[in-house]
Amino acid sequence: MKLVKLLIVLFVLPTFAQQGGMWIPSLLKGMNETEMKNLGMKMSVEDIYSVNHSSLKDAVPHFNGGCTSEIISPKGLLLTNHHCGFDAIQNHSTVEHDYLANGFWAMKMEDELPNKDLVVTFMVSINDVTAQVLDGVASITSEAEKQKKIQENIAKVTASFPKESWQENKVRTFFEGNQYILFVTETFKDVRLVGAPPSSIGKFGSDTDNWVWPRHTGDFSMFRIYADKNNRPAEYSKDNVPYTPKHFLPVSLDGIKEDDFTMVFGYPGKTQEYLPSFAVAQIVKELNPAKIEIRDAALKVQDGFMRKDNAIKIQYASKYASVANYWKKWIGESQGLKKSNAIALKQNFEKDFQQKVTASGKQNEYGNLLPEFEKYYTEITPYAVSRDYFLEVVAKNTELLSLGYKLYQLEQVYNTKGEQSFNDRKENLIKAQEDFYREFNAKVDEKVFEQLIALYGNKAPKQFLPSTLINADYKKLTSTLYSQSKLVDYAKFKELLKGDAKSVLKKLNKDKGYLFVKSLADNYTKNVAPKYDEINLKIAALQRTYMNAQLELYPNTRIFPDANSTLRVTYGKVNGYEPKDATYYKPVTYLEGMMEKYIPGDYEFDIPKKLIELYDAKDYGPYAENGKLPICFIGTNHTTGGNSGSPAIDAQGNLIGLNFDRVWEGTMSDIHYDPAICRNVMVDMRYVLFVIDKFAGAKHLVNEMKLVHPKKK
Ligand code: ARG
Ligand code: ASP
């Protein structure tokens, strides 16, 4: 009995501890394949990625550069998150047809709605081009020259690598510049909206439930890819036809249970798993607190207005959600990094690293890495903090300043590129600002400005502030700018930009709002950015060497390349977790739990009448499990921003869910993945099918899919 237990512990512990990682789909053979099979996978890695025959990767395109999507029918039907399709749904919404509030379903193909500027990109092949990109680089000593040569080599291989005329070549760096991969891609430009549930389903729980488990959000929307008569990418045309995919995902009706194998396939954006302890300390102690405080102030002001005024609520809903998303993430991230002792763990690793360096006689190559990191991170901190203040206050969270900053860049364009470029950019800016002003309220922004500019003046490193900001009367400054600047109104803004470059710049340089932005931006570009960039380049070079050293000195460790918006595989299992002492979170939520959260009329927790009726009648069709309708589930898949909309795939390659978030306690996974508490959140495909079929009455879409029962063979 004892022996059996010991064997179980020995067998189970390592596989559990080994989870995490975002792997390159063409390189799964070996260690990953073994792990995946141990976790229960029944496919071969060629079923996931193959250049010779169709494979899962042919069904998983990048959705508009920021999210992931998957094809679920032979006619190019595409699934992604509601929050990924949000802009498209919003753009088609009017007061009479409010698709955000009521949902939208095309009952036949002619009713599907085209979307200007919405694209999906397939990854056709993965090709290692490290040798070509690093050709002639090793002998160059200056880091800047090195980077220049690398860029030239990338341009060369991008231009010469064989591809079809409708395809593109893109080179991306892996392992911080130790590996380069060229992707051949295909981008489809005619992508039409097919359906979306109302926000009370697609965004249920909204900002309160964001980054939180247990969750009950039906975060999905549907599109269709259209192609020309040859099944190739084409601009929108009414003559285009539904795309015939090389592969589409069958949908499993059997659902999941705890410990089932899951794999998430998608385009994770950015992680920083190999930072030295000094960098993590900077994030926890300096950068996150500053950014959180700024956004906290901005959100409080906006929320105050939104609660009192319905028109402002509509105007600011999308902006508020976007600012709140990372505000909330950073709070969770800082807490998680502290709770998991990430800095101390990194320091322990660094001790071990240093010993390994000495033991392997690599003192010359790697012995100075950590002391140098420490030196440069100490040196860069005030610049990094100033930079974040500038970016958060000026470029992101104060609308007057962010618009002013765009005009500042316009003036730079005139100075560096001349009149023609100035005019082109000016025209684009005028057009683009129409949307800006539609969602702009000067009263709200004025209050945000007053708070944020005081934080900037009081808390950002003093040595990099223009004198106008130190000990200023922020109230007076605010009322002067907002009563006198022409930037607060679209008509005045257009007036300001009328005429040739010289007269526009003359007018701009008399506007109080513009002059204020200019003083901040000049100061930033002269006193912060150059030094920040200079030290950052050195840090990047150290990080490249540090990465190389880890690959060399820890050959048997699972080291995966940080996310870089390229297609990756992450795998794990359906699993609950302990968020705090004496508490266990189960891995599956049900419609019952959604009903427990129901607050009639609330903008986050209202539930559509039809859904309540279906619940009362327990009318779930074939989508229930023991009389209960599952909604969301969590697993140990290592995901990040960009993985939204990624398919959750079962052991046989069928679609079981749609990734859309992570749990609060595990949001630090971008910097430090802890398998005990990092979980990704997925919406169950059975709930998606239920909403389409029973709730929306769009059964014809379900009929287009291939529904399977992998567990009942
Ligand atoms: N936290 C998720 C992600 O980072 C979902 C964001 C959209 N939802 C929201 N309530 N803002 O994208
Ligand atoms: N919600 C994120 C996204 O939109 C996913 C995540 O950060 O876990 O990609």
For the chain, domain boundaries: 54-249, 277-553
Ligand nearest to the CA of 565: 2
- Beta-bridge partner residues of 210: none
The protein residue with its alpha carbon nearest to ligand 1, atom 6, reads 325
- 61-84 mean pLDDT: 98
pTM score over 0.85: yes
The protein residue with its alpha carbon nearest to ligand 1, atom 2, reads 661
Structure confidence at residue 470 as a pLDDT band (50, 70, 90): confident
195: tokens are 């359906």
- 649-670 mean pLDDT: 97
Structure confidence at residue 531 as a pLDDT band (50, 70, 90): very high
Asked if 270 and 661 count as a contact pair (C-beta separation under 8 A), the reply is no
- 379-403 mean pLDDT: 97
Q: pLDDT of 192-220, one tens digit each?
A: 999 999 999 999 999 999 999 999 999 99
Q: CA 683, CA 197: separation in Å to the nearest integer? A: 13
- Which entry of 62, 82, 83, 216 is annotated as an active-site residue? 83
Lowest-confidence segment of 166-175, 292-301, 304-313, 365-374 by average pLDDT: 304-313
Q: CA 136, CA 541: separation in Å to the nearest integer? A: 17
pLDDT of residue 17: 46
Ligand 2, pocket-test mutation among 644, 663, 664, 673, most atoms within 8 A of CB:
644
Cα 555 to ligand 2 centre (Å): 31
pLDDT of residue 468: 82
700 flagged as catalytic:
no
pLDDT exceeds 50 at position 447: yes
What is the DSSP code string of 70-112?
Answer: EE-STT-EEEE-HHHHHHHHHHT--SSS-HHHH-EE-SSGGGP
pLDDT of residue 307: 87
pLDDT exceeds 80 at position 14: no
Ligand nearest to the CA of 215: 1
713: tokens are 């063979």
219 flagged as catalytic:
yes
pLDDT of residue 509: 97
Buried b (16+ CB within 10 A) or exposed e, 433-472: beeebeebbbebbbbbbbbbbbbbbeebeeebbbeebeeb
- 348-363 mean pLDDT: 97
Cα 43 to ligand 1 centre (Å): 32
Ligand nearest to the CA of 658: 2
What is the enclosing helix (H) or strand (E) of 572?
strand 568-573
pLDDT of residue 2: 45
Using CA of residue 320, residue 321, residue 325, residue 326, what is the dihedral sign? negative
pLDDT exceeds 90 at position 454: yes
Q: What is the DSSP letter of 220?
A: -
Cα torsion for 322, 325, 331, 334, to the nearest 10°? -100
Cα 675 to ligand 2 centre (Å): 18
Cα 325 to ligand 2 centre (Å): 10
- Cβ < 6 A, ligand 1 pocket: 83, 206-207, 210-211, 321, 325, 641, 644, 661
Ligand nearest to the CA of 210: 1
pLDDT of residue 18: 58
The answer, yes or no, to whether any atom of ligand 2 lies below 6 A from the CB of 661, is yes
Cα 667 to ligand 2 centre (Å): 10
The answer, yes or no, to whether any atom of ligand 2 lies below 6 A from the CB of 643, is yes
- Which entry of 221, 485, 644, 669 is annotated as an active-site residue? 644
The protein residue with its alpha carbon nearest to ligand 1, atom 11, reads 321
Cα 174 to ligand 2 centre (Å): 21
Percentages (nearest 5) of helix, strand, coil residues in the chain: 55, 15, 35
CA 322 to ligand 1: nearest atom? 11
Average pLDDT, the chain: 95
- 24-50 mean pLDDT: 96
Asked if 19 and 572 count as a contact pair (C-beta separation under 8 A), the reply is yes
CA 66 to ligand 2: nearest atom? 9
Cα 682 to ligand 1 centre (Å): 12
3-state secondary structure 418-434: CHHHHHHHHHHHHHHHH
pLDDT of residue 713: 64
83 flagged as catalytic:
yes
The answer, yes or no, to whether any atom of ligand 2 lies below 6 A from the CB of 198, is no
248: tokens are 């589409």
Q: CA 158, CA 242: separation in Å to the nearest integer? A: 30
pLDDT of residue 544: 96
Long-range contacts of 491-497, Cβ-Cβ distance < 8 Å, separation of 24 or more? 493/403, 493/430, 493/433, 493/437, 494/430, 497/426, 497/429, 497/430
CA 206 to ligand 1: nearest atom? 10
pLDDT of residue 107: 97
Q: pLDDT of 140-167, one tens digit each?
A: 999 889 999 999 999 999 999 999 999 9
